[in-house]
Amino acid sequence: MRIGVVTFPGSLDDRDAQRAVRLAGGEPVALWHGSHDLDGVEAIILPGGFSYGDYLRAGAIASLSPIMTEVVDAANKGMPVLGICNGFQMLAEARLIPGAHTRNAHQQFIRRDQRLRVENAATDWTTGFTQGQEITIPLKNADGRFIADDETIKRIEGEGQVAFRYVGVNPNGSFDDIAGVSNERGNVVGLMPHPEHATEPGFGPDTPAAMSSGVDGLTFFTSVIQKALVK
């Protein structure tokens, strides 16, 4: 499966996302923010970083990049799209998923290995998990606080669009401990933690089995590949 990873000015984790795709058995395809060509990919990842220096709002300028015209069109036609951290912010700014992001409630950048609960195991990116499963994924952000009005929160909670929820501690003050959401169709998912940093033993979070052995993030990428094979 060919999975495109878009690089924006200020992207930090595009190469890590490409590596995660490769480890999952897919073919990573480097895409450029200034292009209108998706190069025939079957899924897209918007990676983490500080695109355009997070000017205006995190992800705001990137959401208007030339390639986002194609990303939005492809997502609306059903192509799987995953937004990670800064990519999550882009998806919200592009109105592909509900909600928005503000500065962390404690006004500080945070980095930690974060426990999450899988709330929706039926999206294109989560079918390899089970409902209620707890996983550990690295998190690092300064503008990671997920917010939305009361009506939107009620709707996404009721319709199962909350994909992940923080467990143990809410690291940034996100409403309802929300760590990730999906669109109604389930092909577009955004989350603050970084699954691409938990894909290979020796480089992931600590687990009871061994230091740096956590690979829960790999399931995001194998999920979308396996779902495509079933179609």
227: phi then psi, degrees, rounded to nearest 5: -65, -40
Q: Is 204's pLDDT higher than 90?
A: yes
Q: Which of 70, 93, 119, 196 is catalytic?
A: 196
Of the candidates 73, 172, 188, 222, the residue with the CA atom closest to the CA atom of residue 120 = 188
The mean per-residue pLDDT over the stretch 61-80 comes to 97
Measured distance CA(150)–CA(147) in Å, rounded: 9
In whole angstroms, give the CA distance from residue 93 to residue 103.
15
Cα gap 96→205, rounded to integer Å = 30
Domains and CATH numbers, the chain: 2-230 (3.40.50.880)
- Helix (H, G, I), strand (E, B), or coil: what is residue 118? strand
- Which one of 33, 85, 93, 101 is the catalytic residue? 85
85: annotated active-site residue: yes
Task: Count Cα atoms within 13 angstroms, Cβ side, for 6.
Answer: 30
Q: Specify the amino acid at residue 180.
A: G
Structure confidence by residue, pLDDT tens digits, 112-151: 999 999 999 999 999 999 999 999 999 999 999 999 999 9
Active site residue 119: no
Rounded percentage of the chain residues whose pLDDT exceeds 90: 93
The Cα–Cα gap between 219 and 204 comes to: 13
Tokens of 164: 């992940």
Q: How far is CA 98 from the centre of its chain?
A: 14
Would the pLDDT of 231 be above 80? no
Q: Which of 33, 101, 194, 197 is catalytic?
A: 194
Query: For the segment 147-182, what is each residue's pLDDT rounded down to a tens digit?
Result: 999 999 999 999 999 999 999 999 999 999 999 999
Summarize the confidence of residues 93-111 as an average pLDDT.
96
Cα separation values, 21 from 4, 17, 102, 151, Å: 9, 6, 29, 36
Known catalytic membership, residue 101: no
